Amino acid sequence: TGYPTRWEDQTKYRGGWVVDGQRQKSLRLRLQGKWGTLSNIFYNPYLPTLDDYFEPWTYDYQNLINAPLADEQPTARAISMVTGKYMDTIEAGPNWDDDLGGSQVYANNDPNFDGASD
């Protein structure tokens, strides 16, 4: 759920803030401190990957434009903009789950509902 996938799951991406200390409470970033930022400046294992977003694609429009006259409607197959190969399935994209926002499938996987009563 969300974009990138499970973006609200703060344990996965370590986003947001946490309160430190018992007596003297202070806020700190959940991900890392100053030195952690410097050590992870070129690599951060908690950032979303391409699979968490989606593989960008376009369509084979030339197949529509150059198709010969026929009884069947020509189709434009999806082509990966990363590899340039045809894609068999498209599983996610921006706003993918907006139309299914009330779906039980998405609600069951939403980290905001963890620990909520039925």
Higher pLDDT, 33 or 75: 75
Cβ-based neighbours of 7, under 8 Å, separated by 6 or more: 13, 48, 52
Per-domain residue ranges of the chain:
1-47, 54-94
Higher pLDDT, 11 or 102: 11
Higher pLDDT, 40 or 19: 19
Instruction: Please tell me the pTM assigned to this model.
Output: 0.57
Position 84 scores a pLDDT of: 93
C-alpha span between 84 and 77 (Å, rounded): 12
Q: pLDDT tens-digit profile of 68-118?
A: 898 988 888 999 999 999 999 887 777 766 655 556 666 677 777 777 777
Please count the CA atoms within 13 angstroms of the CA of 30 that sit on its side-chain side. Answer: 11
